[in-house]
A and B are shown apart, each in its own frame.
Chain A
């Protein structure tokens, strides 16, 4: 793949939209072409900037404003003068009976079963989660013991020696 083809496909490559064969060719070209690598780096930097934007969450106030519109529609339906109250009562009773039947059916629905393999996989997943926690805390402890404590000890020793000398003078 030459520079022109690489440049044409660079953005699609970064977006994960290239076929595998093209991806491999681009990667191989980038390893050997500083100019295209620079273009790639610029594109990556821009992506990084764009992805540094925090995700925007819709405020809950919007949902609260939407709900009355939906309830209002239902109220208008129920209050409609064209529907007799007997018809409304009848259909409500019907819905209640059906809901009761569904509820009873669901209450007696058997709980899902899992195979031994699935349970073993779940256990392995939990152990893996704990292992990574252990690894992170252990690394932190190792760094403290290696990088922080010896200089601290050496520093304290120097201070003590200085005090000793002054006391002896």
Chain B
């Protein structure tokens, strides 16, 4: 009996000190605010594209770097776990494909209980913003922005998001031309 108790205690200690990833460990991709946009193969032919994924530890480093110069941005970033941006230039002939892609993502979001908070549609442009709430907090945000014949962007922000701060801070930024960004390869995947 004593040996069995000792054996059990030792087994627990082994599990406790083990550094291995276990069956079903939580990763940022399992958080409710995360969205997998799926394959972007159909747009691989795009003349310009940007694909960026920023998560820890890089995200923490960037967050700390903003603390002194932009405390409000620091506050916003501190609550975040992951930011992913996929943008690519579009040809007119890709209208159907991009619409399909966006519809597929939209259906996925709606199925998973995401709520649309912005829908703006013009002849050649369609923008939508979705949020995912857990209780009273916003755990994720998605922006789908399509300018037919020009460019498309899929953005996902994961973490504890403050929409007021996001609104205030985002007003400082404007979409540059894609060619001014040298971000061809995805980082930190």
One digit per residue, 1 when the CB lies within 8 angstroms of any chain B CB and 0 when it does not, for chain A 127-148 equals 1111111111101101100000
Q: Is A168 in contact with chain B by the CB < 8 A criterion?
A: no
**Most B Cβ at <10 Å: residue of A16, A52, A119, A139:** A139
The verdict on B98 contacting chain A, using a C-beta distance below 8 Å, is no
Q: Which size class do A's interface residues fall under?
A: 35 or more
> Which of A121, A128, A136 lies in contact with B87, CB distance below 8 A?
A128
Within the complex, what minimum Cβ distance (angstroms) separates A103 from chain B?
5
Q: Which residues of B contact A76 (CB under 8 A)?
A: none
Contact with A along B89-121 (1 / 0, CB 8 A): 000010010001001100110010000001111
Interface SS, B side: mixed
Q: A126, B145: Cβ atoms under 8 Å? A: no
Q: How many A-B residue pairs have CB under 8 A?
A: 155
Q: B138 on the interface (CB 8 Å rule)? A: no
Residue in A47, A54, A96 whose beta carbon sits within 8 Å of that of B108 in the complex: A54
Identify the closest chain B residue to A111 (Cβ): B57
Shortest distance from the beta carbon of B84 to any chain A beta carbon, whole Å: 8
Contact with B along A64-100 (1 / 0, CB 8 A): 0001000000000000000001001100110110011
Q: Tell me whether A119 and B61 are in contact (CB under 8 A).
A: yes
Interchain CB contact (< 8 A) of B145 among A85, A93, A135: A135
Out of A89, A106, A123, A137, which one reaches B6, CB within 8 Å? A89
* With A54-B108, A92-B10: A143-B122 Cβ-Cβ less than 8 Å: yes
Task: Judge if A151 is at the interface, Cβ distance under 8 Å.
Answer: no
A166 touches B (CB below 8 Å): no
A134 touches B108 (CB 8 A): no
Contacts of A52 in B (CB 8 A): 103-104, 107
How far, in whole Å, are A100 and B122 apart by their CA atoms in the complex? 61
B83 close to chain A: CB less than 8 A? yes
Contacts of B121 on A, CB cut-off 8 Å? 143
> Interface residues of B, CB < 8 Å — how many?
66
Assembled-state Cα–Cα distance A119/B104 (Å): 32
**In the complex the two chains form, what is the Cα distance from A132 to B83 in whole Å?**
12
Q: Which B-chain residue is minimally distant from A45 (CB atoms)?
A: B96
A47 — which chain B residues lie within 8 A by C-beta? 100
A122 to B55, CA, bound (A): 9
A137 near B167 with CB under 8 A, answer yes
Is A48 an interface position by the 8 A CB rule?
A: yes
Contact across chains for B14 and A95 when beta carbons are under 8 A apart? yes
Tell me the nearest residue of chain A to B125, going by C-beta.
A139
Chain A residues closer than 8 Å to B27, beta-carbon distance:
none
Residues on the B chain within 8 Å of A131, using CB: 170, 173-176
A130/B96 in contact, CB under 8 A: no
Residues of A within 8 Å of B87, CB to CB, are 128, 132
> Does A114 sit at the interface, judged by CB under 8 A?
yes
Decide if A155 is an interface residue (CB 8 Å cutoff).
no
CB-based contact B85/A118 at 8 Å: no
Asked if B54 and A140 make an inter-chain contact with CB atoms under 8 angstroms apart, the answer reads no
Q: Give 11 CB contacts A-B under 8 Å.
A: A47-B100, A48-B103, A52-B104, A63-B24, A99-B18, A112-B57, A122-B54, A123-B62, A123-B65, A128-B175, A134-B170
